[in-house]
Amino acid sequence: MADLGDDLPFVTQSVNLTSGNSLFAANNISTTKYTWLTWLPKSLWDQFRRIANAYFLLISILMLIGTYATYLFTTPLDPYSTVGTLLVVLLITSFKELAEDLQRGKSDKFENNRKVKVITFDESGNVIETEKQSMYVCPGDIVKLEGTMPSPVDMVLILTSIHADGNKCYIETANIDGETNLKVREAPPALMDAFPDVIQQGKLCPELFKGTLNFEAPNKNIHNFVGTLKLDAASDDVPLGAGNIVLRSALFSNTDWGYGIAIYCGQETKIQMNNRQAPSKMSKIEENLNKAIIIIFCAQVILVTISVISIYLMGFESESKLPYVFPPGTERASVLPLWLEQWFVFFHLYNNFIPISLYVTIELVNVGQAFLIQSDEQLYRKELDVNCIVRSSNLVQELGMVSNVFSDKTGTLTRNEMNLVKFVINGTLYDIETAEEAAEDQSSSPTNYMARFGSEQQGFYEFFRCLITCHTVVREKNGTYRAESPDELALVEGAGRYRCQLYERGSKEMEVSIFGEKITYEVLAVNPFNADRKRMSVLLREVKTDKYFVMCKGADNIMYPLCNMTTAGRNRVDSNLLDLANMGLRTLIVAQRELDKEEAMLWLAGYKKALVSTVNREENIANEGGKLEVGMKLLGITAIEDRLQDEVPEVIADMTKAGIIVWMLTGDKLETAINIGRSCNLVLPETHLHMLSRIDTPEHFAKRLREEYDAITKVPVNPNAALVLDGPSFLHFDDEDPDQRAMLLRIGAGSRSVIACRLTPTQKRELVRLVKTDTVPAATTLAIGDGANDVSMILEGNVGVGIFGKEGRQAANNADFAIGEFKFLRRLLLVHGRWNYVRQAKVFLYCMHKNMVLTLTLFWFSYYTAVSGTSLYESWVYTGFNFILGLPIIFYGFLDRDLSEEFALKWPQTYSTGRTNVALTTSALAVWILNAILYAIVVCLIFYYAVAPTFEDSGLYVAGTTVFVGLCMSLQAKVAFFHHQWAWPQILVMTISIVGMFLYFLMISASFNDYYNVAEKVYSSGIFWLFGFFFMPIVAIYIDWIGYYGKMLLMPTQEMLFREFEHADAFNNLQSLTCVRGATEDEPTKQTSERPLSTELHIDTIYSYNNNNRADGGSNNNSPARPASRGSFHTGSSKALPIYDL
């Protein structure tokens, strides 16, 4: 049975073959958000946290009170029209979330029902193998892994099919940490000492499993584990570490079978404890949405209050003046004062001031835009067979608002395909031999081969011996290498050019060839690389000579103090490192130390003691490793090349033209980072570097920061400035000092780019957070990376982009967007991002505008009804407003394109539309509000004055339906007017929307007594068709046409001029193409373009271009002809939809 120990954070578990371990977690997992009982309540609770939904819940309650508690107040509208609409909106979202949760539940069910082989023993010690569902596996069960399968639990490895060579297995951890490299896990070495015959024979016996396990409490740390195995048949405790654990979801690979003891199950496994929800990110549109709703609510309260005050100003406070509201001889039913009663009446009447469908519309547009991004064939990477993946559809328009991009270097800007290209031995720089050169001397003896190195034979031998032995590379059965890092693989493969080969790498022995001579080494200890140590070392015994060596490699700043060097030697190494860094190469220092047997055994005793410690084991092991890695001999320097990804310089150049500040965040040394910056256009030849590096005190940092701040603020805009910052100096940055924060941000904002090197993952995240939270006006940050160490930065950014890279998929799995390579970021931002921002901004503004117009017509109408609160529109007609106008604006939101993709990519400056948020400025909002007021005035003048006598013999709802249709058709016309391109889907939904409106009226006309036969009477009226269906939309379009072209002539926006410039550009390209086609074979075909060669796109340039590049070369009044089509709208299929210009 299981027993909880008193020495927490450790727990003690009794592992036997007969009793269960019911006190520990079962292996059942659940990633669902809801159960069938909690789905609806929790979903509704989440939705009512949205301001608009809470508002309409309040309205619905007040309407029900007004219907059933008339002694308080009465409602002018049918409450169930609003309640029903609210329920539809809520249920749509609830069922969407349920569908997503059912998918998660389906995945959970598959995992929980997976078959697992569990081993028990009978009384005679014979093995009994049974299958059970994964959910029923408990801590203490003996689990069998075989073939290629994911581990169902976190388990301690006990015995494997590779029992004769270290009792190890191979696993892939891409599902855990995103790394695709093959890793080694081994059974505790002490088991071999305790049961040598059993392990050598690979015999499964009860003695290996009877005992007690002491291990740490469940935690999230996937790289650490501390435990002790106490076996009844063993005299000593068996220490357990992370290298003895196979975690859940790790893929058992390249090993026939393995047995282990389950320790963590279900929700207590490390991967489940790390499966947290990514932080919820809210887009700028959503932030504006919540603010706008509050403002509109305040405006609604003001309108309601004005209406109530008007009752008294117009003398209608006396009931005798409202005979149709309060018939003579009756008493007023309400116990409330007249002003309060009427306040609630008008509050109900104007409830549509806030659009109930706003959230649903925005979400549907987001989903449509996300679908188009994922269907874009130009964002497909064939080598990996991956499309762009959108995981946060609510952020698609944020892609068009990015002002700062934070990029990792290795694997993001570079390929993460490492090649050893140069090395230094005794101060001399050598190039790695080509494959052809290396093949020339493969048949010569080791002695003859070494003779080529002359007096440096010993130096070459020791250098390459260290490269071929100091690593964790694994040789697979087919002869290929698998490594935990691309750097290690590059070093081993590079050494192969010099006849240095790895034949076998076990946990106990290593067989290598150095210059053709086979040598066997016993592996006594491995001190692994980690982010704190920044080095690795191995303790080896050469079997043939019985000599002991420490082989070590690591970062130069770490290795310097650990090597014995003279001042002259250090200066020479510094010079070599600087030369290699200026070539953009990644460098490591290689060193060794020879030990005598007594020193090696003494160190091993301390090391083994650290291995079995149950408190601070990792720290103790690191301390013991540090004792070994001292007084070493520097053997040389390796230089690894990591080439840039495709089109990186061009992408960064375009982002800079778009006004985006690019921050390159890397762990490389300063000179390497600057050189890479020059290669990828972050730093130009004329760029002045503002250096915040090699600073060792807070006071020095504050002084340098002030100096660079003063220097950069002398010039308001300096496109040729770049900031260079290193991690050790950034440690002295005072995050609590607002002046330092402001100065650093000002320097960054005044630079074309920022290069930050020697950074830890935490420092990367801090830089992103600093820019995101402190920049004024607020910056939209995008963080992009490909490795597990970039996840914190990606989660911190307003937008996180992960790259499917060689370091795995953890970055892609945690990002809002995942792409195949860095070059796709240009299209994602400049094309999709800009389109999405422009469209979503219009959707947001239009939704506010249409409901504002509707409410203002009711506000005006109230003065024709003695401010009584009578509704012009029947309740269900009023309710249908948002649904009737929903489809066209939704399809506009993910199909329209104001600029072609070719033009947006050719002129990155057009990205400023979203980056500066021009569509949602206060002035832009004011224009839409004024337009709504103007619409309402025109509607009221036409229908309340011009055709009012026609309605004298008609019912209220006949007049109301005519006005309603005129209003809806005007707003349909408005959507049509701001379309820039048309395809058949937009035409179809516009038709469905209009036809559906007429069918909807017929349906409610046949369903509700208050509206009985109204639709038929309206449709038979000539006034309805003349004014409601035709005249009012024409007037509305005319209003918008005058407004648009008046603004174009007097105060044109950049967006207007971008479109004009594109049309003129397309026209001239068409003329050039015509000239080329018209040339004879004898004539040289020569294309000329009168467009300015400047890469800057300014308003003056557009004016000049439009005025001077006409088809007839003459009058400026003649507009250039516009092309018949701008291209095609792609949905990811092989076919394309024709697109037509307005």
> Parallel, antiparallel, or unpaired for β 404-408 and 781-785?
parallel
Closest CA to 102 of 41, 35, 40: 35
Which whole-number Å values give the CA distances from 438 to 168, 441, 497, 639, in the listed order? 34, 6, 5, 19
For 752-793, the DSSP string reads: SEEEEES--HHHHHHHHHHHHHH-SSPP-EEEEESSGGGHHH
| Catalytic residue of the set 78, 154, 408, 816 | 408
Percentage helix, strand, coil for the chain under 3-state DSSP, each rounded to 5: 50, 20, 30
Residue that the structure tokens 């709802």 belong to: 957
- Which residues are registered as beta bridge partners of 13? 2, 213
Whole-Å CA distances, 52 to 57, 878, 883, 1025? 9, 18, 17, 35
Amino acid letter, 154: D
851, amino acid identity: N
Q: Do 167 and 259 meet the contact criterion of CB atoms below 8 Å apart? A: no
Q: How far is it, in rounded angstroms, from Cα 934 to Cα 108?
A: 56
Collect all residues with Cβ–Cβ distance below 8 Å to 1044 and sequence separation of at least 6: 977, 1056
Look at residues 775, 773, 680, 780 and name the one whose alpha carbon lies nearest to residue 406.
780
Residue 390 token pair: 């959108």
Give, to the nearest 10 degrees, the angle between helix 486-496 and helix 457-469.
140
Cα–Cα distance, 879 to 687 (Å, whole number):
61
What one-letter code names the amino acid at 26? A
Instruction: Phi first, then psi: give them for residue 921, nearest 5 degrees.
Output: -75, 170
Q: Give the pairing type, strands 211-216 and 149-150.
A: unpaired
Tokens of 501: 């080969």
Interatomic CA distance for residues 35 and 1023, integer angstroms = 56
**Cα distance between residue 592 and residue 575, in whole Å:** 21
Separation of alpha carbons 66 and 77, rounded Å? 9
Answer for the pair 388, 828: CB distance below 8 angstroms, yes or no: yes
Residue 149 has φ and ψ, to the nearest 5°, of -150, 150
The pair of structure tokens assigned to 1120 is 């250039």
For residue 397, give the nearest of 103, 14, 833, 77 by alpha carbon.
833
- Contact between 151 and 246 under an 8 Å Cβ cutoff? The reply is yes
Tokens 């996840």 label which residue? 791
Contacts of 709 (CB under 8 A, 6+ apart): 743, 746, 747
- The 3-state DSSP class for residue 957 equals helix
User: How many helices (DSSP H) and strands (DSSP E) are in the chain?
Assistant: 41, 39
Q: Which helix (H) or strand (E) holds 1078?
A: helix 1054-1078
Peptide bond just before 777 cis, omega within 30 deg: yes
Is residue 546 annotated as part of the catalytic site, yes or no?
no
* Adjacent-strand bridge partners of 723: 690, 754
User: Do 997 and 965 contact (CB within 8 A), yes or no?
Assistant: yes
**What is the rounded distance in angstroms from the CA atom of residue 245 to the CA atom of residue 561?**
34
Count of CB atoms within 10 A of residue 886's CB?
20
Structure tokens at 688: 């002045």
Instruction: Show the DSSP H helices in 113-218 as ranges.
Output: 174-177, 189-194, 196-201
Q: Which of 108, 455, 471, 102 is nearest to 266 (CA)?
A: 108
* Catalytic residue ranges: 408
